[in-house]
Structures are given as C-alpha cells and as structure tokens.
Structure 1
Amino acid sequence: MAGKDSSRPLPDELSDLAALLSSQVRARVLAHVITHPDARFSLTELGRTLGLAVSSVQHECYKLEALGVLWSQREGSSRRYALQSESLVVEALTRLVVATVGVPLSVEMALRDLPGLDAATLLGVIPARAGGTALVLIGDLSLETVELAQHRIAWLLDVVDDAIEIAFFRPEEWLQRRDAGHPLVRRLLDLPVQLAFGDVREQ
C-alpha cells in the first residue's frame, strides 16, 4: 500500500492553525498580547518586554496580523499593534492560552507589570462567578490601574468585569486589617487561593 503523501498542501484552515502554533517566539508573543488585551505596543517595546530581537517579533506580528489576531496602526514614525479582541479566533486562542499555561500563570502575566502593584492573588472559584471570585491587590495603585487589573482578569476568565470582586489595599492598610481580623479580610482569606504572585496570605 502506498504511503500517505505528506507533501500535499494543508487546507487553508489547518495552514493557519499550523502557522499560529509552530513557533516558540509566536507562543511568547501570543501569551503576552492575550494577557494584555488593552495594550498597544511597538515592535521595539514588545521586543524589549519579551527579551527578543525586534526582527523576531516583527516576523511574528506580521503573521499574526495577516491571520487577524493583531491589528496595527501607524502613529508618528512607528507602527503600533494591538489584539483584535473582537475576533472569534482570538477568543478561542485566549481559552487555549489559559488552558495551556494555567490560570495562576495567566493571571501573573496579566498583572505583574502594573505600576505600583506589590502582590495580587485570585481567590475563590474557577470558572469565575459573581460573588464567588475575588482579586486582591496590594500596593500603591491608582483607580485606573485597579480597573485595568479587573478587566484583564475578567477577559482571561471569559466573564464580565463585574463578576470579579476587587479588593485593593495599600500595604500598611492590608497588614493592619489582616492583623485586626477585619471581617472583609477574614472573608477573603477563607476563600480558596488560585495562586498568582506575592500571595496575600504571606504579606
């Protein structure tokens, strides 16, 4: 019996899937942009963030834009890219990234670069539901940063922003309330931990 012809071209849909998943650099770029759905970035900024050569991220971003995962717009002398968040492909890729790397690492990737954040822990139940899932943030944070954190985590968990209860404290405030047995802090710490980084129980 003749062997299968492995040189036969793939259907277009499978070629797109192979293009998405066949590169470690592409995987890193995808993981970053999917955990930062609000971000707009230049190739230089993305390369610096990921520790990759600009030529490498340029190649991947061009392909991802052609596949409808990213979109770009020229601003001044540079071109800035962003996630095509309304795309059904992007929605599916988001689920794939979260399932592959896990909720804890996805949450950490989404939050670790927020200015002023010292610690963050996702508590409660996954899949997230209103009243059952909380994100505790500790640091000197602006309200805008808190809302951005809530939006990123809701995006990753595929829920509306309000399904994620937000509690944020300055470090000294958190320690005082924790040590005093404040009812809100006690309730939060009774929830199961979906580890992110700087576990609030250890702060």
Structure 2
Amino acid sequence: MLLPLLRSRTQGDIIAWILLHPEEKFSLTEIGRAVGASGPTVMREVDRLAEAGLVREVRRGNQRLVSADTANPVFGPLAALMAVTFGPVPVLRELLADVPGVREAWIYGSWAARYAQQAGPVPGDIDVLVVGSADPDVLDEVAQAAGQRLGREVSIRRVRPSVWDAADTDPFKATVTSRPMVTLIGGERR
C-alpha cells in the first residue's frame, strides 16, 4: 500500500535499504538482517536489481557485496521515491540507534497502517513513539533530520518507561497498541 507498483513490502524494504545508504556496501546477509528477509529472498531481489543496473556488485572471497549504482540515471528519482514510501524504517532506525535513553521505538499511525498493507491515502506524516528517557531536544533534532531526509513531517512522542509499563488503562497506549506498529528499536516486531 505504500507503493503499489512493487510486488511486495519486502521488495520495497530491500530497495530502500540499499538506495538510502548509497555510500555503503552490504553483504546479502547484512541486507537480510536489516530488513528481516530470508537469504533466498534477498538474493532474488538483488539479482533483479543487478540485472536492471540499479546496484553494483563486488566479490570479496565468497561474499557478494552490493551498493546502489548512483551513476544510473534513475538513482536520484528512485531513491527519493523510496525515501517517502519505504524510507522511514531505515532512516529512523539509523537516526535513533545512537540516541541514549531509547529503550523501545515504533512507528505508529497511518504510515504503519499502510506498511501493514491496510488501504488508505498516502500518509502525510510519520508518527514515532519512543519509550525511554531520551532527551526531548535530541529527539526533536532526530525528528527534524528524519523529516528532511524523508520529505515529510516526523513527530516523535516520548513516554517514560515507568509510565508506559504502568499504563494498561491509558487511552493513548490502548489506541496505539490496538493498531499496526512498526518496530524500530526493541519491542516486538508488528
């Protein structure tokens, strides 16, 4: 539902991971781990990308390393399209990874619903829930940086762990957890 031109959500995740990290080379195993896909699936999708000239390949021993082919004329437009559709997961994981005090983080709301393949309009923003003691000013900087990279507003709501853990009757928690959530850090994958 995020980009109905693609065959699957996994295909979108793989393409976004590679194109949104154009300066890096990844093994197929690293790509699979990053997007939660099996080895055969990653190999099949990377083969398709290589045939189309969208990725470059380098062999190191028996390891196959791939990176985005930034010289391909469709790289720029395709990377921009992947950023606004499948980009929130890799971009937010990267930006939140080094923030002290983040115990768990999820994307929720309309973007998470589209990612879960629920029909609806293209989301205008990205809603992020962070459980932890992270500095709100640092989270605001993350939201701003993510918004610039993703081409849409990113809102981060922080909840302290003691409040989140004790909030079994809290209406916000009940609403958020009853709908699709996409894990960024910790927590269960949904």
Q: Structure 1-normalised TM-score? A: 0.46
Give me the TM-score of the superposition, normalised by structure 2.
0.49
- Write 1 or 2 for the structure with the bigger share of helix: 1
Max Rg structure: 1
